[in-house]
Amino acid sequence: MNPVTILVAVCLFASWLAPGSTLSRVVLASFDAGVPFERVTLSEGRLAIHLRDGSRLPPEKLRGAIFAGEDSSHRKRKLRLDEISERGAIPIYDLSYLVPSTNQWEPVCLPDAKGNRGAFLLNGVWNEEGSHASDVASFSVGCLSGALGKCVRFGYAPWRETHGRTLEPFFEACTRLVRADYLGDGRSFTVEGKRIYIMDVLGIHTEPPPVGFRLESAWGAGGASFVNRLRVPRLKPDALGCDSGSCHLATAPKQEVLLLVYTP
Chain segment 95-126, per-residue pLDDT in tens: 888 888 999 999 888 898 899 999 998 888 77
Instruction: Choose among 113, 111, 109: nearest CA to 194.
Output: 113
Q: Return d(Cα 131, Cα 104) in angstroms, integer.
A: 33
User: Model's pTM, two decimal places?
Assistant: 0.85
Of 63, 62, 78, the C-alpha closest to 24 is 78
- 85: which strand partners? 92
Cβ 58 vs Cβ 51: under 8 Å: no
- pLDDT tens digits for range 75-89: 677 888 899 998 788
Q: Strand pairing of 197-200 and 214-220?
A: unpaired
49 within 8 A of 58, measured Cβ to Cβ: no
Q: Where are the domains of the chain?
A: 1-145, 154-264
Determine the number of helices (DSSP H) and then strands (DSSP E) in the chain. Answer: 2, 21
Does 17 have pLDDT greater than 80?
no
